[in-house]
Chains A and B, each alone.
Chain A
Amino acid sequence: MTQDAGMIGQAGLQFFGKMCASVSHDIKNVLAVINENAGLLEDFCLMAEKGRPIDPARLKRLAGDIQEQIRRGDRIVTGMNRFAHSADAPSMDVDLSELTDLLAALALRFAAARGVQVHVKRPRGAVRITTAPFVLLNLMWLCLDEAMAFAGPERIVELAAEDSADGACLRFCRIRRLKDTPDGSLPTVLSSVLCSFLRAQVSFDPDANQMTLLLPKNGG
């Protein structure tokens, strides 16, 4: 195994672990709310036994709240499943805009921890490329992590996937503090290795407050 392959593997494992830990935290929160709702139902029953009548409208709201948490949990698990399946094959035909949606969902907790919102600007149609989706997600995460560090005072990073002449690109926009460090902190050794593997390139445009991840049509 070459050194680069080893680095990609190790980094991938760390990336996977980091995202899994975050997802597990989100799922725990959903379970905590459902637990409280179940407890409240129990409270109502105990109160009813002591003669306090149960309000059907309140019970209906409670049922709705539980269902909303189930939907929330389902969204989280569906995202986790899509993320896990991104490692199924070393090369796949994918829609970059769907990968971008997935990245934004996975990054939600991390962004919130830094007081940043991640907005996704959706393209008109699919942005199709052939790539190694899991490795690409890893690189996209590194770029997003960088972009969040340079988010401007409004604390928003906007992601936009687009077709380009040679393939596709993912723009990280509204990173107004990039002017302070025009070349950003990338490339790191890891991002360089990932870019090389994917035949991708990261470019900085401080005047436009954006960073762009350029991807070939067939990088997988």
Chain B
Amino acid sequence: MAEKVLIVDDDKAFLAILAERMQNRGMEVSTAESAAAAMQLLAKESYDAVLLDLMMPEMGGIEAFQIMRRTQPEVQVIFLTGHPSVSKGVEAMKLGAMDFLPKPVDMNELSEKIKQAKASRMILAAKRTQEKIRKILTDKSW
């Protein structure tokens, strides 16, 4: 099954071209030009990976990620930034981001990261299901 990816970036040209390249690689891609638009999509769909621009107007990537994490704890976020800094990278990873990649992106590297994101998400989803089952069994004293 194809990886399902959401790209969030305020640069329309970058968004469109990255989406096309990823679709050519067989991925199912949605796009959002702002964190707010991304939240609306995430409320309706789940994604294997979210590519999140670090610097966006009104709500930046870090703040958006923190909100995403509260509503979808399994969401795998890869930050993209034109100006990677050690401090921002550390902050993102401490918050639980999957990775932090510089722009311009290396498509092969990005594709690999997205495959890893899908695998991680599936493992987390399976764990969550197991815990739910365990809780049900415990509650019913079975």
Contact = CB atoms under 8 A, between A and B. Distances in A.
Contacts of A25: 55, 82-83
Nearest to A24: B83
A115 B57 contact: yes
A32 B21 contact: no
A201 interface: no
A35 B57 contact: no
Contacts of A36: 14, 17-18, 21, 104-105
B42 to A, nearest CB: 21
Interface residues of B, number: 18
Contacts of B20: 40
B134 interface: no
B131 interface: no
Contact of A65 (B11, B13, B83): B13
B104 A31 contact: yes
Interface string B110-135: 00000000000000000000000000
A37 B113 CA distance: 21
A39 B104 CA distance: 10
A114 B56 CA distance: 10
A37 B24 contact: no
A98 interface: no
B13 A33 contact: yes
The dominant DSSP class at the A interface is: helix
Given A29-B103, A32-B14, A32-B104, A43 B21 contact: yes
A113 interface: yes
A24 B20 CA distance: 26
B15 to A, nearest CB: 9
B21 A112 contact: no
A24 B103 CA distance: 13
Contact of B17 (A28, A65, A112, A115): A65
A47 B24 contact: yes
A43 B24 CA distance: 8
Interface string A14-35: 0000000000110011011101
B107 interface: yes
B63 interface: no
Interface of B: 10-11, 13-14, 17-18, 20-21, 24, 55, 57-58, 82-83, 103-105, 107
Given A25-B82, A40-B20, A43-B21, 13 more contacts: A25-B83, A28-B82, A29-B103, A33-B11, A33-B14, A36-B14, A36-B17, A36-B21, A36-B104, A39-B107, A68-B13, A69-B13, A113-B57
29 contacts: A28-B82, A29-B11, A29-B14, A31-B104, A32-B14, A32-B82, A32-B103, A32-B105, A33-B13, A33-B14, A35-B103, A35-B104, A35-B105, A36-B18, A36-B21, A36-B104, A36-B105, A39-B21, A40-B17, A43-B24, A47-B24, A68-B13, A69-B13, A112-B57, A113-B55, A113-B58, A114-B58, A115-B57, A115-B58
